[in-house]
Chains A and B, each alone.
Chain A
Amino acid sequence: MRATELLSRPVVDEHGRPLGRVHDLRIARRPEQHGPARGWAVAGLAVGGGRLVHAWGFAERRAAGPWLLRKITARAGRVARYVPAERVLAWGPEVVRVRTGGAELPPLLEVVRP
């Protein structure tokens, strides 16, 4: 599976309700491996908020300006959610299915380090 195939794939909950699209993959170094070349695993997904908001870095406050773009993208950035990999029931091929248990997914900005 290519990472770019996963980007923009629709995300639905266990009842099929749409949650947005995958706009970024959050990756982390694999803890079970050591040394400079230890690989990465997908830790979670950044979902919703709009593609450009993520591509330009506003979703995780990586970009700070210009102010007009910041204002325009502010709301979209706030609705972006983080889906931990443990909650993913199926990665594809058509949609990513996640388990929410009826709870709200955490906002992306609460869990990412810019």
Chain B
Amino acid sequence: MNDHESLRFTLLDQQLVDAEDRPVGRVDDVLLDLPADGGPPVVVAVLTGAQALGERMGGPAGKLMAAVASRLRSGEHRAEPVAIPASAIGDHADLVQLTVPLGDLPHVAGLERWLAHHLVEGLPGAGDARD
């Protein structure tokens, strides 16, 4: 037996939580890089968000989802899905635990943060929805 694990069951579609156990999304895809020395592909980032999921789904519905998600994002990197570098991934058992708090990943969960600030926070009893 070897110490390798199934990507399907240990990374793909798993819940991501930040260093403070707050959910930040799911692993919608995994970015691999082929080293120049010819070694096996290495995981360089996990992709999360509707844009990554839409690109993975493909077809008209997937393309539409990815395009809408891309339009809703701001910044110069919005053509690419949200990526969390492999260096920020710690443990993974039932959840994929990041080693950094959500606050250190400003490009992650942008729409959820915007909705929390502009919509949910104004509701009675919402408290500080950004938390």
Q: How far is the CA of A2 from the CA of B89 in the complex (A)?
A: 17
Chain B contacts for A26, CB-based, 8 A = 2, 4-7
B interface residue count range (under 10 / 10 to 19 / 20 to 34 / 35 or more): 20 to 34
Tell me the smallest distance from the CB of A114 to a CB of chain B, in Å.
9
Chain B residue at minimum C-beta to C-beta distance from A110: B1
Interface of A is mostly: mixed
Tell me the smallest distance from the CB of B60 to a CB of chain A, in Å.
18
Chain A residue at minimum C-beta to C-beta distance from B35: A41
Chain B contacts for A7, CB-based, 8 A = 8
Number of residues on chain A facing chain B (CB within 8 A):
34
Tell me the smallest distance from the CB of B93 to a CB of chain A, in Å.
13
Tell me the smallest distance from the CB of A8 to a CB of chain B, in Å.
11
Provide a sorted-by-A list of 16 A–B residue pairs whose CB atoms are within 8 angstroms.
A1-B33, A2-B29, A2-B30, A3-B32, A25-B7, A26-B2, A26-B5, A28-B4, A29-B3, A37-B87, A37-B89, A41-B39, A41-B43, A43-B40, A54-B8, A113-B5
Question: B10 touches which one: A27, A44, A112 (CB < 8 A)?
Answer: A27
User: Contact residues of B with A, CB < 8 Å?
Assistant: 1-12, 29-34, 39-44, 47, 55-56, 86-91, 99
Given A1-B33, A26-B4, A37-B99, 8 other A-B contacts at CB below 8 A?
A: A4-B56, A6-B41, A27-B7, A36-B90, A40-B11, A40-B42, A44-B4, A113-B5
Q: How far is the CA of A86 from the CA of B40 in the complex (A)?
A: 7
Question: A2 touches which one: B1, B31, B86 (CB < 8 A)?
Answer: B31
**Residue contact B11 to A27, C-beta cutoff 8 Å:** yes
Chain A contacts for B11, CB-based, 8 A = 3, 27, 40
A19 sits at the interface (CB 8 A): no
**Residue contact B56 to A2, C-beta cutoff 8 Å:** yes
**Residue contact A1 to B56, C-beta cutoff 8 Å:** no
Q: How far is the CA of A1 from the CA of B34 in the complex (A)?
A: 8
A57 sits at the interface (CB 8 A): yes
